[in-house]
A and B are shown apart, each in its own frame.
Chain A
Amino acid sequence: MDAIYWPSVFFLLFGGTACTFAVAVLVSKNIVRMAFYLILSLAATAGLFFLAGADFVGAMQLMIYVGGTLVLLVFGVMLTSQERFVEMKSDAGDWVIGFLAGGALLATLIWAAVSIPAWQGMSRAEAEALTVEKTATPLGMSLVGFRVDNPKESGYLFPFEIVSVHLLVVLVGAAYLARAKRKITKVALASEPSSAGTDQN
């Protein structure tokens, strides 16, 4: 048997973790456990990013996704699941149709993935000849418009600015949408059927 190629072992480790916990998110019924499994799956995804040489993107995935978006999600889970362990089950029919459609999608995607020869891996000799490159500085430079890896191409300054303004707008909008409003009481609803569904500010 040939010598073990350790990066592939780590790929199997991280990839297996990501897929297992993604399936666990699908199968689990408790919403907090689903959130926890999602955290583990996304952390394993960050590990896969590190393996593919995208160290900056991997660190960003950990910081933004795991440390930000998922904290938000878990907050949402806690604010809305006051009745403990209420289980919302889908019908069995929904599951069957879902699995059929999902299974067909998965089969198509995997078949497409394995049948393109250009996507197969490199030979081992080629892989061991590669040097490790750092990506933080080129990424930062291209975000402000200078591509150091390929000076003929333009940078990503315009999308960067758009995304910055987009984030500002979205977060202001989300904060406005989620502001505290007075709750409608049942008495108010019963006595004024015409104003049902509107919120009072």
Chain B
Amino acid sequence: MAQFLSELSVFGFRVCPWPWLAYVLAGVVHIALIINLVAVGALIFIWLERKISARIQDRLGPTRVGGKFGWLQTLADGLKLLTKEDLMPNGADGLLFKLAPYISFCAAISAFIAIPFAGGSYPWIAQHLNAGVFFVLAVLGLEVFGVILAGYSSASKWSLFGAMREAAQVVSYEVPLGMCVVVPVMIAGSMDMVVIGDMQAGWFTNWLVFHDPFTFVTFWVFITCATASVNRAPFDLAEAESELVAGFHTEYSGLRWSFFFMAEYGSMFSVSILASILFLGGWHGPVPVASLLGLGGESSGSIGWFLAQLLGLGNVLLKGTLGVCIMMWIRWTLPRLRIDQVMTTCLKYCTPIAAVMFLGATCWHYNFPSKNFFGLTSYPQSVYQIKEGWDATKKQPLAAEAKADKVAQVQRGKRAISRHGERPIFLSSGERL
């Protein structure tokens, strides 16, 4: 994007006379897109939550603002929150009290920097990181600081208890969450989310959730741990309305509270998109519409490529929204867990199950590395070219022609199955490890 902007000229004027302006503008465009996504997404999700909860409870929900379905209700609520009085409790630590919502919000938004929305050679991603999954997990773990600081600096015992419970819960559930994430990373061989997503091209049989029975179970454990990680019911005792008034955001009102809520919906959306990229195919739908229609040309700039990417973007957003809807559905169906039940679920159920599934998926993948869909079909040839090959002399991923050679090498290696399994490691000198 920066390169594109630095060469752009509109009506004969160079847009960026200085090279650094291109970087700044590229950053601004990316951030504007992401903030828009999170803010408008929060708007839509809050309305959706009210509608879904209403229907589950056999009532209608918002129906007046904005026509028959009340879809502008959240906007009206936002305007109301903007005009509320900005209170701060007497004994509160001023700096930390004011800073806490922004920390939560920034952590929730930063996760979107490394999440791809459409893949291929020019993925639609703000920052294409090599260790994208790792970065997203690290940043999602930083959200707990906003909560802790909010709880402590509110000078209220309800806030402190809520904050401690929530911090304990989020930090404990990071462990099984990390183990669940390692399974698709291991199958794809890369932490780069573009590689993981592109590996699932084609029909839905290529999706990683159907790769083997262990990954299937891992997906459900991931959903559970992700729900606990973002403090949604049934794990929402940090905001338990019936017990703690409102937990860590008791003393927050108006715009400060809305930042916390945008952070919550933002992180729900980001873990749903993460689940969809890691397990459910990401920007590849159940039916490969783009390649069936002949749209997925690799030459960037053509309208066909753009439409294919747009389809991918729609897929990702749709799957993310589906994940969020499922979280809302669970919230209004299941009763809340106690803190000791939450900890038991994490330590006695989720973590051992995740560990055993990791072991099982490793053994499965070791024995059938080229098989898909519970071992029934084989990978398409294009997937081998996407998976990262490593060039030991130049210490970087292989260039395109070298990748084709590597593919041929891998095929040769597959025929001579060694003790190390079907894909022996080739050094640049041609010898095998």
Contact = CB atoms under 8 A, between A and B. Distances in A.
Interface string A179-197: 0000000000000000000
Contact of A137 (B141, B390, B433): B390
Interface stretch (B28-36, B37-45, B130-138, B291-299): B130-138
Interface string A92-130: 000000000000000000000000000000000000000
Nearest to B20: A6
A133 B397 CA distance: 9
Most buried by A among B129, B142, B149, B397: B142
Given A59-B135, A68-B171, A137-B388, A32 B93 contact: yes
Interface string A131-175: 101101110000000101101000000000000000000000000
A63 interface: yes
Interface in B176-208: 191
Contact of B141 (A56, A67, A84): A67
B173 interface: no
Report, as a range, how many residues of chain A touch the other chain: 20 to 34
A63 B134 contact: yes
A32 B142 contact: no
A66 interface: yes
A20 to B, nearest CB: 15
A59 B138 CA distance: 7
Contacts of B21: none
B83 interface: no
Nearest to A77: B152
A138 B149 contact: no
A98 to B, nearest CB: 26
A18 interface: no
Given A78-B160, A148-B392, A56 B131 contact: yes
Given A71-B171, A75-B164, A59 B134 contact: yes
Contacts, number: 79
A79 to B, nearest CB: 8
Given A56-B131, A146-B433, A148-B390, A133 B149 contact: no
A116 B395 CA distance: 30
Interface in A51-106: 55-56, 59, 62-63, 66-68, 70-71, 74-75, 78, 84
B152 A32 contact: yes
Most buried by A among B129, B155, B191, B395: B395
A201 B293 CA distance: 72
Say whether chain A's binding surface is mostly helix, strand, loop, or mixed. Answer: helix
A63 B93 contact: no
A78 B174 CA distance: 21
Nearest to A46: B138
Most buried by B among A63, A70, A136, A146: A63
Contact of A62 (B142, B392, B395): B142
B230 to A, nearest CB: 15
Nearest to A66: B142
Contacts of B354: none
B12 interface: no
Nearest to B19: A3
B131 A136 contact: yes
Contacts of B129: 55
Most buried by B among A66, A131, A136: A136
A134 B397 CA distance: 8
Interface string B112-152: 00000000000000000111001101110110110011001
B396 interface: yes
Interface of A: 4, 6, 30, 32-33, 36, 39, 55-56, 59, 62-63, 66-68, 70-71, 74-75, 78, 84, 131, 133-134, 136-138, 146, 148-149, 151
14 contacts: A4-B20, A33-B93, A55-B131, A59-B138, A62-B139, A62-B142, A63-B134, A63-B138, A67-B141, A71-B171, A74-B148, A74-B167, A136-B130, A151-B392
